[in-house]
Amino acid sequence: MDPVLLLLVTFSGIFFALIGLASRIGAPLGVDSLHIAVVGMLGGMIFFGADALEILRAGDVPARVWQMGLAAGLTQYAAVRLIKTALRMGPLTPLWTAQMLAFVPVILYASLALGEPLEPVHLAALLLAGACIFFASRSQDLPAQPAARPGGPRLAYLAVLAGALLLNSVANIAVKDLSAHTLPSERTLLEQFGSLFYFMMYLQIWLGSAAELLVRRRAPASYAWMLGLGLMAGLGSLLGVICLRQGMSLPAAVSFTLSSTTSIVCAALAGALFFGERRTRWWWATVASGAAVVLVANGPQLLRVW
């Protein structure tokens, strides 16, 4: 396999981790994920905007592209909002591990909607993903509970992490769906209309974030930090997408495994080294099971490729 492409998909995981790092840095500085998104999403809108405009001028955009773009954009905006909540409740590593497991619901979608076989290894990945989210919810200290609500905060944190996984998975499901439907030209919908899809997604995140901040009159504590962290997250998002798309000529099992595992490890290392996350047995279990989900789900294909 081309070592340059392997390097590109590995770097995509590092770039994607910058999104989580920007949000974690901004949280104690009064710059939350919505502030960061208002700046960060502009890069994706600009990058995909010109091609999206050409697609619109050509016309004949299938309804499925609009539907998937709308679903991906709205849920990504909701996921951005949930990042703020998750970082108030816990550290970066559990959140980012949950985000990087967003491919797991795609397995179920591909089986139920696209007729792809659900193999035993996929069921194992689903169970491991559930275990990973549980470990993540136990990976940090939470305030004591009133007797009337035993386990309340841990259950709430578990729900937030599960929500992060599910919301982030919709964009992956949309990409999978568009990749599975072809045109008479034998090009997939994603190949033909991918730029419009990504532009719609970035635009909706930007519009939702900007509208909420304006309505609620929530200014950042520092516009300088908002600009800097927004550029960091935007650069990470855009470069991650570009590197991963360049590596799509590799087998999906290779490209996704390298990107997701690298992103989980980078976020975990940053959390431990720079943000003082306690490396408890639950922390290690979260990181290990998160990486295991990726490897188990893609391992057979990966071994066949190598």
Average pLDDT over residues 192-221: 95
pLDDT digits (tens, 9 = 90+) for 245-272: 787 666 655 666 678 878 888 888 898 8
pLDDT (0 to 100) of residue 265: 85
- How far is CA 110 from its chain centroid? 18
- Residue 241 near residue 44 (C-beta atoms within 8 A): yes
Of residues 278 and 55, more confidently modeled:
55
pLDDT (0 to 100) of residue 143: 47
User: How many angstroms separate the Cα of 68 from the Cα of each of 64, 115, 238?
Assistant: 6, 19, 20
First to last CA, the chain: 9
pLDDT (0 to 100) of residue 145: 43
Q: What angle do CA 176, 182, 183 make, to 5 degrees?
A: 145
Average pLDDT over residues 87-99: 88
**DSSP character at residue 153:** H
Of residues 195 and 91, more confidently modeled:
195
CA atoms within 13 A on the CB side of 200: 22
Cα dihedral sign for 232, 237, 240, 246?
negative
Q: At a CB cut-off of 8 Å and minimum separation 6, what does 37 contact?
A: 77, 80, 205, 206, 209, 230, 233
Average pLDDT over residues 149-157: 71
pLDDT (0 to 100) of residue 55: 95
pLDDT (0 to 100) of residue 303: 60
pLDDT (0 to 100) of residue 138: 80
